[in-house]
Amino acid sequence: MYQVIISRSVAEMIRQAMNDAIVEGKGMMALKSLRWIRDELASDPNRFGESREHYASAQLQGRVAFVTSLRVHFAVHESSQVVFVSRVGWTTRRAN
């Protein structure tokens, strides 16, 4: 299992995405998507989504994944089995 690290700002992005989904009547779909994202990041992040950047000096592989309308940007440090989530949000612009 990988350790998944999210900052306070990323946690706020997740809360905002859930609030938006609830307002639009899609709260359950968003919750299921977020749970799937969490499970994939913890179990096999190198097969989840697609590779984007490689930060050789930091030994990080940057990746992005899409689940329903949610997008998650993250980086994997393989030797320590840690995943850093940098951004979570909707792939399309949402109405306020």
Question: Is the confidence at residue 93, as pLDDT, over 70?
Answer: no
Instruction: Give the integer Cα–Cα distance in Å for 17 and 3.
Output: 22
Lowest mean pLDDT among 9-13, 27-31, 88-92: 88-92
Domains of the chain: 3-90 (3.30.2310.20)
Task: Judge contact between 88 and 10, C-beta under 8 A.
Answer: yes
Question: Is the confidence at residue 95, as pLDDT, over 60?
Answer: no
Q: What is the edge-to-edge ordering of all strands in the sheet holding 50-55?
A: 3-6, 82-90, 70-77, 60-67, 50-55
**Residues 13-66 pLDDT 10s:** 999 999 999 999 999 999 999 999 999 999 999 999 999 999 999 999 999 999
Please indicate, yes or no, whether the overall pTM of this predicted structure exceeds 0.85: yes
Question: Is the confidence at residue 94, as pLDDT, over 70?
Answer: no
| Side-chain half-sphere exposure of 19, counting CA atoms within 13 A | 8
Residue 91 confidence (pLDDT): 87
DSSP category for residue 58: G
